[in-house]
Structure 1
């Protein structure tokens, strides 16, 4: 454990870790991933319908991050850049699923996935939480992503704007619209 990791010194910044990883330090890249994997997984869990898909997409995201390190601008937050890649991977996943459904083979993949509930899923199955998750997934991607990044990851509107390539004001409007839509749907469904 390094001095920074043990709490005896300043934490190593994401930019420093990325620079070290670009220079071939695989441990630095591993540290970056460990630092942000939970946030990326949470984000992806709300983008797709099941944890197995979220886990697969997270792995694809980590591979893409590694392959694209030379394009990362260390002047910007690493996590915002990682969310952009995760968002793109989730979109790719949805496009593949749509194509598979169109061809008629999507059901085969659903049957292959384990149906055994894990303890986390049992907790998440509470009625109210399940209803909210369903409504969030039903939001258009342009509203869902800013809401999740704001509410779940605590990102500022400016940071979300960097992820989504839009102004902070546009993000603020989308978060407002997403919350209003959820509130309306919840009141309708009781």
Structure 2
């Protein structure tokens, strides 16, 4: 943690190479969280940039007795939540069809499943989705997630469980789980 304290001090002193090093160390984690929350590359890049602007504006507020990464990720998550709330208030230009028949070859089943999971996750309540992604994608422990999301440990466990349940229900309602299981069985018998 002391090396981050030194890096933070250099950033606060206006050292541009320290600022570049700081961004280099955390840009991938911040971008990935933003992308998973907002679901669009350009918006995620914007959210990541805004996150770093807010981090640098508030470096003096970082509690040096605590790890810096959860603090940064909390700022990123908060920025994305604000963006999503603003985006949800914007009028939708047109209705989109929820399910489009796919005529691609069956060897793309893994890609299709990943797309379906992403679509299903986009409909999961935001807190549930964030806890789920921090647990499964970032491989944080429940206690690390509780600290980052500033909520009780039991709440995090409940949110991850509910996200899983909603994800499975949504995939089942779209016929994805049966279709995927059938393709797996067919491959196993070939």
TM-score for both structures, normalised by structure 1? 0.75
- Structure 1 position 96 matched with structure 2 position 86: yes
Shift of 1:160: 1.2
Seen in structure 2, the aligned counterparts of structure 1 residues 187 and 55 have a Cα distance that, compared at 3 Å, is same
Shift of 1:53: 0.6
CA deviations over 1:42-93 (Å, ceiling 9, x no partner): 1111111311111111111111111110111122221211111111111221
Which of 116, 119, 123 is 1:138 aligned to? 123
Equivalent runs, 1:27-176 vs 2, <5 Å? 27-101=17-91, 107=93, 126-176=111-161
Q: CA RMSD in A?
A: 2.2
Q: How many residues align?
A: 160
Q: Is the 8 A contact 1:157 1:168 kept in 2?
A: yes
Distance in 2 of aligned mates of 1:187 and 1:152: 22
Q: Which runs of 5+ in 1 are unaligned?
A: 1-10, 108-122
Structure 2 residue matching 1:155: 3-state secondary structure: coil
Structure 2 residue matching 1:46: 3-state secondary structure: helix
Q: Which runs of 5+ in 2 are unaligned?
A: 94-107, 177-190
**If you compute each CA radius of gyration, which structure gives the higher value, 1 or 2?**
2
TM-score for both structures, normalised by structure 2? 0.75
Distance in 2 of aligned mates of 1:175 and 1:13: 33
2:183 maps to which residue?
none
